[in-house]
Amino acid sequence: MSLPFVVPFVTKGYGLKDEDFDEIIEMERLRDVSEKLSETIRTTQREFGCNTRIRIVEFNELSGANADSNKLFRITISSMKHMFYSYLHSNKDCCVLFKYAGYDMSKELFKKRVLLHEFAHHYQWATLGFPCFLPKCIIEAKKVTPQFTKYYGIGPLEAKVYIDAFLLADTPIYVMKDFCERISDFVCEGILIEKGLKEGILEEYREQIGHDPEKDYPVLARHEFPMAMRYVKRMALFDVAEWQAKLRHAYPNGQSFQKDMVFGKKHVIRLNKKYAKAKYAFRKLHELSLTTDYRSFKELKNVVNHIKQVLNLLNIEIKTKEIW
């Protein structure tokens, strides 16, 4: 998953030259490991049938140029985002990826899924011409978008967000951010499946289906922010439904993983046992993901309609006077 506006340790961008890139590495104490991973990079280029350069930059907890930068690196690491695409460092002909130094490079999922998925973020914008969607309420959002594609703001500038009629947030930025990331991820997965790059998708799904997202948060946070916990569980309902749709597209027969599908569905519905429409919502979300063509997300109206349908099924309401 890309981190489009959460990584302010970026110091250069908008069409990097080699000397700019060297300055970033020197200033932030980062390490270019592209040569070390050259074989993996070449394989990725071959799979996508393109000559786009790929540079992989390694970071750790102490890579930042100052305390604030290091804090952001630690947050990135603790949130398990061990590899991500940075479009602020990239340009149309060069994709820059950041990788945590402690990430286990021997894991097969890295070669089969992670690198391909992260590169697909760049490919969708630089090669296929998809626009970049970010929450409209981000201050100066246009300054943190790729310089090689269009930008569209999503959602209202000001709004209150409710889940099951309870106040979740007094700003739409976090919910809109979650959906913008998921739209981009949906396009990435559509590209990979269309290119036949589906190896490892089932293994990745199996790693996630038994997960309780609430346990990612400290016990104190779970008690202090009950609506936030309800929200992450509700979004898990959407995520699993969408994951299962991806598997259906990748493997239309599906006999080999039917038990995984049943378990995943039961588990996420059980997480949402307080939501009376959980079963219905899961079924409709699955159908929506199955029937949505990732190419349709080149159009702003299709993205907005999709988000509104999902919000409605999850019983999340964005109250605003604005039309979006």
pLDDT of residue 210: 80
pLDDT of residue 53: 92
The whole-angstrom separation of Cα 204 and Cα 112 is 10
The whole-angstrom separation of Cα 289 and Cα 242 is 6
pLDDT of residue 114: 87
What are the beta bridge partners of residue 151? 132
Length of the chain: 324
pLDDT of residue 52: 93
The whole-angstrom separation of Cα 172 and Cα 178 is 10
- Given a contact cutoff of 8 angstroms between Cβ atoms, the answer to whether 112 and 200 are in contact is yes
CB-count burial class (<10 Å; 0-12, 13-18, 19+) for 117: buried
If DSSP codes are grouped into helix, strand and coil, which group holds residue 213?
helix
CB-count burial class (<10 Å; 0-12, 13-18, 19+) for 255: exposed
DSSP string, 155-185: S-SS-EEEETTEEEESSSHHHHHHHHHHHHH
For 30, residues 6+ apart whose C-beta sits below 8 A from its C-beta are 24, 57, 58, 59, 63
- Given a contact cutoff of 8 angstroms between Cβ atoms, the answer to whether 169 and 320 are in contact is no
| pTM of this structure | 0.87
In the block, tokens 């080149």 appear at: 298
pLDDT of residue 4: 35
Enter the tokens of residue 126.
Answer: 């630089």
The whole-angstrom separation of Cα 193 and Cα 242 is 14
User: What pairing do the DSSP bridges indicate for beta strands 53-59 and 94-100?
Assistant: parallel
pLDDT of residue 105: 61
If DSSP codes are grouped into helix, strand and coil, which group holds residue 134?
strand
- Given a contact cutoff of 8 angstroms between Cβ atoms, the answer to whether 169 and 156 are in contact is no
pLDDT of residue 147: 79
pLDDT of residue 137: 81
pLDDT of residue 60: 82
H helices within 195-225, ranges in order?
Answer: 201-208, 219-224
Enter the tokens of residue 228.
Answer: 């936030």
- Given a contact cutoff of 8 angstroms between Cβ atoms, the answer to whether 164 and 313 are in contact is no
Enter the tokens of residue 213.
Answer: 């997202």
**pLDDT tens per residue across span 99-131:** 888 776 666 666 678 899 999 999 999 999 999
Give the Cα-Cα-Cα angle 285, 290, 293 (nearest 5 degrees): 115
What parts of the chain have a pLDDT lower than 70?
1-27, 78-81, 104-111, 139-143, 217-221, 255
